[in-house]
Structure 1
Amino acid sequence: MKNYIKYNEWQIIEEGFDPHLNKISESIFSLGNGRMGQRANFEEQYTGETLQGNYVAGVYYPDKTRVGWWKNGYPEYFAKVLNATNWIGINIVVNDEVLDLNTCKVLDFSRVLDMQLGTLTRRFSVELKNGNVLDVETIRFCSLVDDEAGAIKYTITPHNFDGKISIESSLDGDVKNQDSNYDEKFWTEISAKQQDDFALLTMETKKTAFWVSSGIYTAIHQDGIALNVKPKFSTKEKYVAQQFTVDVKKDQATTIYKYAVNLSSENHDKTELENAAVEVLKTVVAKGFDQMLKEQAAAWTTKWQNGDVIIEGDVAAQQAIRFNIFQLHQTYTGEDARLNIGPKGFTGEKYGGSTYWDTEAYCLPFYLATAPQQVSENLLIYRYNHLEKAIENAEKLGFKDGAALYPMVTINGEECHNEWEITFEEIHRNGAIAFAIFNYIRYTGEQKYLAEYGLEVLIGIARFWAQRINWSIEKEKYVMLGITGPNEYENNVNNNWYTSTIATWCLKYTIEAIDLVKADNPQELNQILAKTKFDTVKEITHWQDIITKMFYPEDEKLGIFLQQDGYLDKEQVLVKDLPAVDRPLNQKWSWDRILRSCFIKQADVLQGIYFFEEDYDIETIRRNYDFYEPRTVHESSLSPCVHAIIAAKLGDLDRAYEFYLRTSRLDLDDYNNDTEDGLHITSMAGTWLSVVEGFGGMRIKNNQLHLHPVLPKKWKSYAFKIGFRQAIITVKVDEQKVSLKNESEKALTLNIFGEDHTLQANGVLELNSQIIAH
């Protein structure tokens, strides 16, 4: 665990330069706008340890699978989020010496990520080997308004010398992915050229043939006045640059303005791609840096109006949740149903793909409550558009008749994860997609979604479960064999409780969905049944039989659901008894040792209890929580938030707060020693869930919003907004009262602490805090 980020409510601040922390900071200070993004690499040359990364949404490469053996059903490739053209490069030579923080003496250094403005500012003072001392300040951002563009303001001020500074503003397409399986570079050059005062570089991905056209314009100012200097253009393979040489004087500021665009063939015709890049570049250059920055600030103000969570009395907690929300908004805007939320977003390459079950299980609730309805609907439509691929994925594994298995990892709907215990066995991901449809409908009340998109997906998923389950003669029950549950520290187990539970829930919900569509629009139902060749009597009869006769492992003596068959045969050791030197297990133990242990990577049984808590009484929840949490090492980013929510429900606010801090500061404090690979974007939604569903007790039951707030000891108050069925509600909780403010023209009946209340249009409702437990 690192602890070098300074606490601040609206900023992420690093003071002092430690090269050993640089890759971690490159992740933490990343920027994005939903269409493009970048790690916090330095603009100037840096020969120290770094992971250079610029990314363009929707562009990928099918890197050939690297395994020592092959099995039927393995994906042939692992889709990689591509490191794309580096557009930020501004190499500086001062009196013939290269500015490089790895080789010069760093006198002062700070980095600031401003979450209100969406900007990254870096300030440093250095002494070069020739004795020259200079100050540098850089400000850059990826524009939310012009989402194919970014801008940089780079200011150099000499301290003790006059002389010359050479500036090379570049586009570098000669990049490669750190995670390339065969050290292959994935890009080829289409063109590199000068057009007027612009430099353009167009690159093409191998195999997938995506084109990305990047363009830059660079201007030099001194003392606030533009210099009349024309750039000298230079090119080499996959590289184009604009070069300037300027005279500088002691204490005189020289400012470099760099405007850049990245346009892809996903959004533009290839024949017009370069022209389109030039037009976007002209637009942002005409605006200028200050106007772009003003628009950026206004766009972020709008984002924060409905998405902010305000915590009083705990700066570490406040900073952390805003950081998580900020990164979610930088990654996904919901404007394009072809895009999804990658586990690393625009901050790194690890894991590959752009879509995991994390989106449905963790991210969807955040967008349901904080963004226009179309945003969350687009996340579901993304899966609907991949239904045929999901059916193909199932067919590759031997399933038939329209059974659909959604991939564990994908970009285009095709499974591209190549570890057998994940590809073949971690099939609970199917259930998360069905649950997301249910979650969307109960939150929005939009049952028409079932007929338009949802029911086809549910039928495909239900068919998969019906074929994946088999009858056990010995048990005289249906069983599910050869599973990897959410706890990935268990592979190839039988009767994983969570997977079996969500499988039968899917069957039940699909039957219910058929009845709902039949009641609303029987003609549309008939069309869906015909399209899917659904045998109503035969299939539903079989599903009902499975629902009635499914086997779920339990231990009656302990009163718990067993994670899987034989779990109690393992040596039962608690995490508190593990030596610190053994943590994290996935970096210290052999895989064999992990698989034989009782230790749990992330919520497994508790994931099911979180989803379906209404099915269990409070003591059942408590027994399972008290048994499984002490055995959980939380070495998945998805784990702490589920435990925080359940702990808050159980009234254990100390543990809930501990898990909240862990999930919210996971990357800021590098809890799991892996932040340098990129941030854990999808689990960041779990931070929001920890506050709103955990401490706020927010649930949707019977088409009604329910709240049961509690207040952590360290907080004076907290507040959040919920958009629910055309109403926007601000909830504030402090030691004296719970206040609700309706910021809409629609009255709302909601349940607080188990009692119904009416919140009038534009009205305020306050309740005494006597029932708020600490």
Structure 2
Amino acid sequence: MKRIFDITPWHVVTTEFKPENKRLQESMTSLGNGYMGMRGFFEEDYSGDSLPGIYLGGVWYPDKTRVGWWKNGYPEYFGKVINAVNFIKINVQLNGKSLDLAKTRFTDFKLDLDMQRGVLTRSFVVTEDDLRVAVTFERFLSAAQKELSVQKVTFKNLADAPVKIALASALDANVKNEDANYDEKFWEVHQVSADSLIAETMPNNFGTPRFTSGMQVSYVTDLTAGTVDQQAAATTAHFERDLAAGATATFEKRVVVVTSRDYDGDAALITAMARLTNQTASQSYADLLAAHTQVWADRWRQSDIRIEGDTAAQQGMRFNLFELFSTYYGDDPRLNIGPKGFTGEKYGGATYWDTEAFAVPVYLGITKPEVTRNLLMYRYKQLDGAYVNAQQQGLKGALFPMVTFNGIECHNEWEITFEEIHRNGDIAFAIYNYTRYTGDKSYVLHEGSKVLTEISRFWADRVHFSKRNGQYMIHGVTGPDEYENNVDNNFNTNYLARWSLAYTLEVLKEVSPEQAQQLGVSDAEKAHWQDIIGRMYLPYDKDLDIFVQHDGYLDKDLEPVAAIPADQLPINQHWSWDHILRSPYIKQGDVLQIMYDFIDRFTPEQLKHNFDFYEPMTVHESSLSAAIHAVLAADLKYEDKAVEFYNRTARLDLDNYNNDTDDGLHITSMTGGWIAMVQGFAGMRVKDDTLSYKPFLPKQWTKYSFRQVFRGRVIEVTVDAQGTHLELIDGAPLDVVVNGQTQTLARTK
């Protein structure tokens, strides 16, 4: 495959500008600070192909449902993230000619995402006519002040004659989504002034909340300010300067962005914008940058993973962590992690089961427990919506949504929306995972017990008792493998349902009498749950000694992926949906996902037989697939296979493995590098309150090390040719197990 960025440890950088790669470059140079984010599109107008996008956390719109055959129980709308007002827009003219890199001649192009500092820089030299002007754009979204966007443009005249520079800096609400089925725009401007703009999302027919966004701009520059144009949906400030030969000019644009999620009404927005703007008025660009980069330095100090001997693997890991942190760092419990984060429109920007299954393990290991607790609280606070989702299907309890912003299901594909119910079990597993890892029972015995109880009530109503077989079954579902729709007895779903009921019963034994009374689980209800646990059907084939993905799977033509002609891969871009559904090919781990989740509950023989059967049938066309396969391969000592899957997950977007990165990054799968490294290569497990490791060093590497947060400690793990070395960086002494041997860690400083 051809890489469009250089391989460097801390940078995503290229010195080539190729228009055919423009969208890929935009995706891969996305910025975010958890509160807002943007693709790496140009500040100035670009007449070539591009996907501009700025997104605000928690701001969304109920797009029209595309399903024309709506039936009772279907979601009313497809919720989606919307492109925010363009507040980074800066158009440039040099000697009266507009700068447009689709048309303007230039040399010395460089695009550089500095992951260590969280700064995006673009530079080039304009060579139109007699011009030789070096132009540098730099921008960051402050990690120190979440509402602040900072840009700096530098011009240096390299020619012998002066050049006239003219800038038009705008707050522009004339934006739209590319992936939308509305003809009108999403924003209705309330107020516009010389330095601010307030816009509200358009009215909709679904009774969902409307969001208001306010933006105030300020400038620091040695250019001369000119007129300000105020239009119905934009405000544009003009600046100019005659730049002498050899001279340099700078232009700083600072924008404060606030929304109605925090401030109620236009007056409150205006007051907040003024206050936040004043806070930075006396600070220089260097001051603002230093505060921002200090936050990133603190994050990296706790979470950086260092790899020696393989720079591509190192870059991939840091890219994963950088974009993950840019999307979510736990500062706002109202927010969650969308599969594309702030990098594109696909998947609607909403929350999926990816958070519980893939993000929770990573945040547990690299941040304070409160970050993960906020993710669990996010679901608890949306219980009311989960009740509605279940009731729409005529079922008891709570069905947490497959896709949501507010707890109400807002995906419009039936096989995803109300068949892929395994996500209820994934949410229960996340509660268990948090409790097991942190040792903190305060959530599971209070809010968590409520979530578990309502999930269990759903499972108890959703199962079907087969009189013919004398077992409980679950019909008409889709497992994590979305290439198998409307199947009966998906192993993953049945296993999670059984486990969720059993775990809930364990938790109910520990809750306080007051909490038990509030939950109101009767003895008859508990007995019914126990009966389901004891008689749940789990498909199994004795001859192959494997758990069967679902009833009928083994009746398919079981040819491995290796039998598919290379020019037909990926199959989701070459085959009809009908062809895919009839095939045996697996999008991502399904049975193997369960074996990853509950790896200590399966024997080595079970892991081997199932991995050897299912992995050759898996096309890995979900971005989530490679990480769990890396862990299982490592556990089975298939080290080359584990490294292959690590590279696939860590460099999924950088190398555009699935040919689908141009519309945005796969943010939730960026947990995969950490999962593959820490749980796979290092063999990290937590069992019976004990932390253990079984590391190996890939042949291509000379050394790797990472820091891990665990129960108030920070532990540094280093693996090299001499073995495994553990150091307690912070916290009380701790017993850990390495390759079966217990050792006590204590601080030496």
TM more than 0.5: yes
Aligned to 2:470: 476
Deviation at 1:218, TM superposition (A): 2.2
- Among candidates 472, 481, 489, match of residue 483 of structure 2: 489
Deviation at 1:762, TM superposition (A): 4.2
Note the 1:122-141 alignment, pairs <5 A: 122-128=122-128, 130-141=129-140
What TM-score comes out, normalization by structure 2 length? Answer: 0.97
Note the 1:301-340 alignment, pairs <5 A: 301-340=297-336
Contact 1:259–1:285, Cα closer than 8 Å, also in 2: no
- Among candidates 606, 610, 615, match of residue 601 of structure 2: 615
Aligned to 2:518: 527
Aligned to 2:25: 25
Aligned to 1:772: none
For the residue of structure 2 that corresponds to 1:743, the secondary structure is: strand
Alpha-carbon distance in 2 for matches of 1:286, 1:52: 31
For the residue of structure 1 that corresponds to 2:445, the secondary structure is: helix
Alpha-carbon distance in 2 for matches of 1:652, 1:489: 26
Aligned to 2:739: 753
Note the 1:133-172 alignment, pairs <5 A: 133-160=132-159, 161-172=161-172
1:657 and 2:648 matched:
no
Aligned to 1:770: none
Note the 1:402-481 alignment, pairs <5 A: 403-481=397-475
Aligned to 1:544: 530
Alpha-carbon distance in 2 for matches of 1:473, 1:442: 37
Identity of aligned residues (%): 47
Alpha-carbon distance in 2 for matches of 1:613, 1:523: 35
Query: How many residues are matched?
Result: 742
Aligned to 1:238: 233
Encode CA deviations 1:681-739: one digit per residue, 9 max, x unaligned. Answer: 11111211110000010111001111111111111111111111111110100010211
Alpha-carbon distance in 2 for matches of 1:57, 1:615: 38
Matched to 1:448, the amino acid is S
Deviation at 1:353, TM superposition (A): 4.1
- Among candidates 386, 390, 394, match of residue 394 of structure 1: 390
Deviation at 1:39, TM superposition (A): 0.7
What TM-score comes out, normalization by structure 1 length? Answer: 0.94
- Among candidates 620, 623, 629, match of residue 643 of structure 1: 629
Deviation at 1:131, TM superposition (A): 4.2
Alpha-carbon distance in 1 for matches of 2:518, 2:72: 35
Aligned to 1:285: 281
Contact 1:149–1:284, Cα closer than 8 Å, also in 2: no
Matched to 1:210, the amino acid is F
Alpha-carbon distance in 2 for matches of 1:662, 1:726: 32
Alpha-carbon distance in 2 for matches of 1:16, 1:412: 42
1:710 and 2:696 matched:
yes
Alpha-carbon distance in 1 for matches of 2:243, 2:561: 61
- Among candidates 679, 703, 728, match of residue 742 of structure 1: 728
Aligned to 1:628: 614
Deviation at 1:554, TM superposition (A): 1.2
Alpha-carbon distance in 2 for matches of 1:761, 1:118: 32
Task: Identify the range of structure 1 (155-164 vs 415-424) with the bigger mean alpha-carbon deviation.
Answer: 155-164
Contact 2:317–2:673, Cα closer than 8 Å, also in 1: yes
For the residue of structure 1 that corresponds to 2:379, the secondary structure is: helix
Contact 1:191–1:203, Cα closer than 8 Å, also in 2: yes
Deviation at 1:82, TM superposition (A): 1.5
Matched to 1:487, the amino acid is D
Matched to 2:219, the amino acid is T
Matched to 1:218, the amino acid is Y
Aligned to 1:73: 73
- Among candidates 480, 489, 511, match of residue 505 of structure 2: 511
Note the 1:100-115 alignment, pairs <5 A: 100-115=100-115
Encode CA deviations 1:361-404: one digit per residue, 9 max, x unaligned. Answer: 0101111111111111000000000011101110001113xx11
1:676 and 2:662 matched:
yes
Matched to 1:523, the amino acid is E
Alpha-carbon distance in 2 for matches of 1:569, 1:712: 38
For the residue of structure 1 that corresponds to 2:432, the secondary structure is: helix
- Among candidates 277, 295, 298, match of residue 299 of structure 1: 295
For the residue of structure 1 that corresponds to 2:510, the secondary structure is: helix
Contact 2:342–2:349, Cα closer than 8 Å, also in 1: no
Task: Identify the range of structure 1 (319-328 vs 154-163) with the bigger mean alpha-carbon deviation.
Answer: 154-163
Deviation at 1:181, TM superposition (A): 1.9
Alpha-carbon distance in 1 for matches of 2:411, 2:656: 26
Encode CA deviations 1:245-273: one digit per residue, 9 max, x unaligned. Answer: 21122232121111111111111232210
Deviation at 1:163, TM superposition (A): 3.0
Aligned to 1:771: none
Aligned to 2:206: none
Matched to 1:509, the amino acid is Y
Alpha-carbon distance in 1 for matches of 2:171, 2:695: 51
Alpha-carbon distance in 2 for matches of 1:745, 1:209: 46
Contact 2:727–2:747, Cα closer than 8 Å, also in 1: no
Contact 1:174–1:237, Cα closer than 8 Å, also in 2: no
Matched to 2:488, the amino acid is N
Encode CA deviations 1:142-171: one digit per residue, 9 max, x unaligned. Answer: 000011001111112233342312110111
Aligned to 1:252: 247
Encode CA deviations 1:459-503: one digit per residue, 9 max, x unaligned. Answer: 111111111110112222111110101000000011111110111
Gaps of 5+ in 1: 222-226, 764-774
Contact 1:370–1:721, Cα closer than 8 Å, also in 2: yes
Encode CA deviations 1:64-104: one digit per residue, 9 max, x unaligned. Answer: 21112111111111111111011111101111110000011
Alpha-carbon distance in 1 for matches of 2:149, 2:179: 26
Deviation at 1:523, TM superposition (A): 3.0
Aligned to 1:768: none
1:606 and 2:622 matched:
no
Alpha-carbon distance in 2 for matches of 1:8, 1:425: 43
Aligned to 1:382: 378
1:342 and 2:343 matched:
no
Aligned to 2:685: 699
Contact 1:17–1:106, Cα closer than 8 Å, also in 2: no
Matched to 2:296, the amino acid is W
Matched to 1:361, the amino acid is A
1:56 and 2:51 matched:
no
Q: CA RMSD in A?
A: 1.2
Note the 1:360-379 alignment, pairs <5 A: 360-379=356-375
Contact 2:364–2:437, Cα closer than 8 Å, also in 1: yes
Alpha-carbon distance in 1 for matches of 2:545, 2:281: 67
Contact 2:225–2:240, Cα closer than 8 Å, also in 1: no
Alpha-carbon distance in 1 for matches of 2:421, 2:724: 41
